[in-house]
Amino acid sequence: MMTPRALSRQQLRACAQHLRALQRSQTVAAPAAAPIEKILVANRGEIACRIINSARRMGIKTTAVYCDAEMNGKHVAMADEAFRLGPPPATSSYLRKDKVIEIAKAAGAQAIHPGYGFLSENAEFAELCAQNGIQFIGPPASAITSMGSKSESKNIMIAARVPVIPGYQGEDQDPAFLAEQADLIG
């Protein structure tokens, strides 16, 4: 079994270079990086409040979104403006990609900050933002897709010469072949 250890600067550099290359190769071109004057914060609670505070310090206006249960929430009061997403279940509000994009356009937001959770790790949403000329504040869709796949993530780390726990990475899923690979790994 491999013992966790700190990565060398060379390994960290290689990993960063690989991720930058991955970012450059994304299939949907990001909109030109014009100055951001307004962002839509596609989250709620404390994370939304922190994003709103940071934006305010940077001189950027904010648009909050909320479900019916949070219409009096702190993040709604803190933002420059707020729009209703829908009823309380996240699937009917915060996870409605189409509605979030529609609100961002109506509000004149140049970018969307997803916070964490909800849409922050949704490659389809990041691509949808780009297709609508809205900057996604987060990693490109290609990186989200790669990091969302354990096997792809492991391949990226292997390519960057980061030590990983040994394992079988192939396509052959035949039980007898897998047992053979397990014996080889130990």
Query: What's the pLDDT tens digit per position in 151-165?
Result: 888 888 888 999 998
CA-CA distance, 138 to 102, in Å (whole number)? 19
Q: Which long-range contacts (CB under 8 A, 24 or more apart) does 43-48 make?
A: 43/75, 43/94, 43/113, 43/114, 43/115, 43/116, 43/117, 43/118, 43/120, 44/70, 44/73, 44/75, 44/94, 44/115, 45/73, 45/74, 45/75, 47/115, 47/116, 48/75, 48/79, 48/115
Task: Give buried/exposed letters for 55-86 (b at 16+ CB in 10 A, else e).
Answer: beeeebbbbbbbbeebeebebbebbeebbebb
pLDDT per residue as tens digits for the range 120-145 = 989 999 999 999 999 999 999 988 88
Q: What is the mean pLDDT of residues 5-21?
A: 59
Q: Of 18 and 156, which is predicted with more confidence?
A: 156
Q: Of 144 and 51, which is predicted with more confidence?
A: 51
Give the model's confidence band at 166: pLDDT under 50 very low, under 70 low, under 90 confident, else very high.
confident
pTM to 2 decimals? 0.70
Q: What is the mean pLDDT of residues 179-186?
A: 90
Least confident interval from 32-46, 73-87, 97-111, 148-162: 148-162
pLDDT at 39: 98
